[in-house]
Amino acid sequence: MRVMVLVKANKDSEAGVMPDEDLLTRMGAYNEELVKAGVLLAMDGLHPSAKGLRMRFDGAKRTLTDGPFAETKELLAGFWIWQVRSFDEAVEWLKRAPFDGGTEIELRPIFEMEDFGEVLTPELREQEERVRAESAKLAG
């Protein structure tokens, strides 16, 4: 199964402050372990929400709001996508991450095609597979 690991924002990340070199080094070593174990599928960090925006969908209306957004500790600052055998394995990997100081990291199982059951017709399944294969090529 695949899981998304969501690293939430804090005052520093929202202010654009870089982590110190010690943490960067430990995070680099942790990422290397994830790669060696075949767990790490993708990762990225996000710029502070001041550089982002939100679009509200309501009927045919689209309303745009510029960042920054107030609820700092609910904002996303970065993420990993992991391939694991079970949710418990993901929890065990996450426990080894070099975070501290009350940081809270969220783990969420990703929907796979089989989770959709009958809503996903054979045609849609084929389309989904094609879109995934082509977007993976673009990402490569």
Partner 1 sequence: MRFMVLVKATKDSEAGAPPTRELVDAMMAYNEELVKAGIMKGGDGLQPSAKGARVQFDGAQRAVVDGPFAETKELVAGYWIWECKSLDEAIAWVKRCPNPMPGPSEIEIRPVVDIADFGEMVSPEAAATWDRLKSEVGNG
The tokens describing 122, both together, are 């054979």
**Which is closer to partner 1, CB of 12 or CB of 54?**
54
Q: Of 64, 85, 114, 122, which one interacts with partner 1 (CB under 8 A)?
A: 64
Residues 66-125 that bind partner 1 (CB under 8 A): 69, 71, 74-76, 78-79, 81, 87, 91, 94-95, 97, 99-111, 115-117, 119-120, 124
Among all chains, which residue has been given the structure tokens 């094609």? 130
Residue 12 binds partner 1 (CB under 8 A): no
Residue 138 binds partner 1 (CB under 8 A): yes
* Beta pairing class for 76-83 and 61-66: unpaired
Least Å from the CB of residue 118 to partner 1: 9
Q: Of 35, 37, 86, 129, which one interacts with partner 1 (CB under 8 A)?
A: 35
Residue 42 binds partner 1 (CB under 8 A): yes
Query: What is the total residue count of the chain?
Result: 140
Least Å from the CB of residue 122 to partner 1: 13
Distance (Å) of CA 115 to CA 1, 77, 112, 119, 122: 11, 28, 6, 10, 14
Residue 23 binds partner 1 (CB under 8 A): no
Distance (Å) of CA 82 to CA 32, 47, 66, 96, 102: 13, 22, 31, 14, 23
Secondary structure letter of residue 10 according to DSSP? -
Contact 108, 6 (CB under 8 A): yes
Q: Of 32, 37, 86, 129, which one interacts with partner 1 (CB under 8 A)?
A: 32
